[in-house]
């Protein structure tokens, strides 16, 4: 069985890596995984044909200058899939690119299965996507319990598996391990700076995060800064903090990712997966986000939910402070961070809610999310290809002569002579229905 994967960002690489690992455990023989991916997918045994960073870009305004290159890559990927003709295409998150790919593959005649991992947030915006994607997908894997019903309503097979963060050692990891390795005394306060992994995020948000940290350092003497990052973004982070006049510990070692997280007393993070990870790990924090003004305006018109952090959305409470777009001011952010440092009550309020959040993302379940996702994929593969009825053909209206207005005083128009009947031996024309 050959599976072709497409991911477009680090979080997708994590998800797909876990899925591939579980698929190979369940079916160790005869499984071939290829496609667009990253280091974790490669480590799990996939043949990476194209690194995902070649297609990774977010934001409406940000993507415009890259459209020509992206379209060339898009076409090349689609052609490669048709050429290899895998048993299934598994797209992971990155919805705009991946859903367009799914539609394109069906138009090109691809008849294999198409399964998407990470349901789009139709409960937050663009609810119509649930119906749209049901026209070309065979199955969809959901991370949150309230999601499947949006897709099964359109006869699309869907399953809730939980969030892969529950498979990590986020809870049991010890921050003291990182502190000892970096000579950070246990009594010294630490602030985590999480800049995000995408290029556009780093460009838009790195400065407010850095300045907020500097303002906190003016109030808390001897504070240390812990900056967990990725190997591919470490250079940019080091350059950014080169002139930062405070002790900084940048770590890109993924083997000690959670130890670096747990070494943070308080954190400031970009909105996204890392914010959910901080909540799951039990680190009090605030989130920030800033994008192109045009992108933000369009999103605000389309998004139904008012909150951004998944903890705030799932719990339907303002648990984690959000500093988004126009509110993304270093002074305001620093003030809230200082409040978290000084108030045990404020910190405990977040920690109590994070306990509730863990249950919502699958903590305590018998099977891991990756194992459930793998079982779902194999279940879909055993089923016959979904037959999706095409939309009803539009009725074609026969051409009728249009009566032209007659000017006042003009002579009456002669009616056209009737056409002579055609010979009976000539076959009648058939009307095109477009079906």
The domain at 2-162+366-382 falls in which architecture? 3-Layer(aba) Sandwich (3.40)
Residue the block writes with tokens 């407010």:
208
Rounded Cα distance between 145 and 159, Å, is 9
The domain at 175-360 falls in which architecture? 3-Layer(aba) Sandwich (3.40)
Beta bridge partners of 308: none
Sequence-distant (≥ 6) Cβ neighbours of residue 428 within 8 angstroms: none
Residue the block writes with tokens 């279940």:
379
3-state class (DSSP) for residue 377: helix
Per-residue pLDDT of the chain (435 residues; tens, 9 = 90+): 999 999 998 889 999 999 999 999 999 999 999 999 999 999 999 999 999 988 875 544 455 666 788 889 999 999 999 999 999 999 999 998 999 999 999 999 999 999 999 999 898 778 899 999 999 999 999 999 999 999 999 999 999 999 999 999 999 999 999 999 999 999 999 999 999 877 777 888 899 999 999 999 999 999 999 999 999 899 999 999 999 999 999 999 999 999 999 999 999 999 888 999 999 999 999 999 887 777 777 667 666 668 889 999 999 999 999 999 889 999 999 999 999 999 999 999 999 999 999 999 999 888 999 999 999 999 999 998 776 655 555 555 555 544 555 554 555 555 555 555 544 444 333 333 333
Rounded Cα distance between 203 and 312, Å, is 25
pTM of the model: 0.76
Rounded Cα distance between 38 and 44, Å, is 10
In the chain, domain spans? 2-162+366-382, 175-360
Domains 2-162+366-382 and 175-360 share a fold: yes
Q: CB-based burial of residue 1 (10 Å sphere; 0-12 exposed, 13-18 middle, 19+ buried)? A: middle
């Amino acid at each position: 069985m050959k599976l072709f994967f497409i991911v477009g960002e680090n979080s997708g690489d994590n998800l797909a890596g876990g899925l591939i690992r579980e698929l190979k455990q369940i079916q160790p023989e005869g499984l071939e995984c290829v496609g667009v991916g990253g280091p974790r997918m490669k480590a799990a045994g996939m043949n990476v044909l194209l690194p995902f960073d070649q297609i990774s870009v977010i934001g409406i305004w940000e993507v415009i200058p890259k459209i020509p290159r992206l379209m060339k890559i898009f076409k090349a990927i689609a052609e490669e899939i048709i050429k290899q003709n895998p048993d299934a295409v598994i797209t992971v998150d990155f919805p705009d690119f991946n859903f367009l790919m799914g539609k394109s593959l069906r138009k090109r005649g691809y008849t294999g299965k198409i399964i998407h991992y990470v349901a789009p947030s139709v409960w937050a915006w663009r609810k119509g996507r649930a119906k749209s994607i049901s026209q070309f997908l065979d199955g969809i894997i959901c991370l949150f319990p309230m999601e499947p019903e949006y897709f099964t309503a359109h006869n699309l097979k869907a399953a809730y598996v939980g969030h892969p963060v529950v498979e990590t050692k986020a809870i049991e990891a010890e921050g003291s391990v990182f502190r000892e390795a970096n000579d950070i005394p246990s009594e010294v306060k630490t602030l985590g700076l999480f800049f995000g992994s995408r290029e556009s995020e780093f460009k838009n948000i790195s400065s407010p995060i850095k300045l907020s940290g500097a303002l906190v350092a003016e109030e808390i003497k001897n504070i240390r800064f812990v900056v967990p990052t990725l190997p591919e973004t470490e250079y940019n982070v080091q350059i950014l903090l080169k002139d930062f006049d405070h002790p900084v510990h940048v770590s890109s070692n993924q083997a000690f990712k959670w130890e670096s997280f747990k070494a943070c007393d308080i954190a400031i993070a970009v909105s996204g997966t890392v914010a959910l990870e901080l909540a799951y790990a039990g680190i009090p924090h605030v989130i920030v986000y800033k994008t192109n003004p045009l992108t933000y305006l369009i999103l605000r018109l389309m998004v139904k939910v008012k909150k951004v952090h998944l903890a705030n959305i799932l719990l339907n409470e303002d648990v984690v402070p959000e500093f988004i777009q126009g509110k993304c001011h270093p002074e305001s952010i620093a003030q809230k961070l200082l409040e978290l440092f000084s108030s045990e009550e404020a910190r405990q309020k977040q920690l109590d809610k994070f306990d509730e959040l863990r249950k919502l993302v699958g903590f305590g379940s018998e099977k891991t999310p990756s194992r459930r996702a793998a079982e779902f994929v194999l279940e879909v593969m055993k089923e016959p290809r979904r037959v999706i009825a095409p939309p009803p053909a539009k009725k074609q209206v026969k051409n009728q002569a249009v009566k032209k207005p007659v000017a006042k005083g003009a002579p009456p128009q002669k009616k056209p002579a009737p056409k002579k009947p055609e010979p009976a031996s000539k076959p009648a024309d058939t009307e095109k229905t477009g079906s």
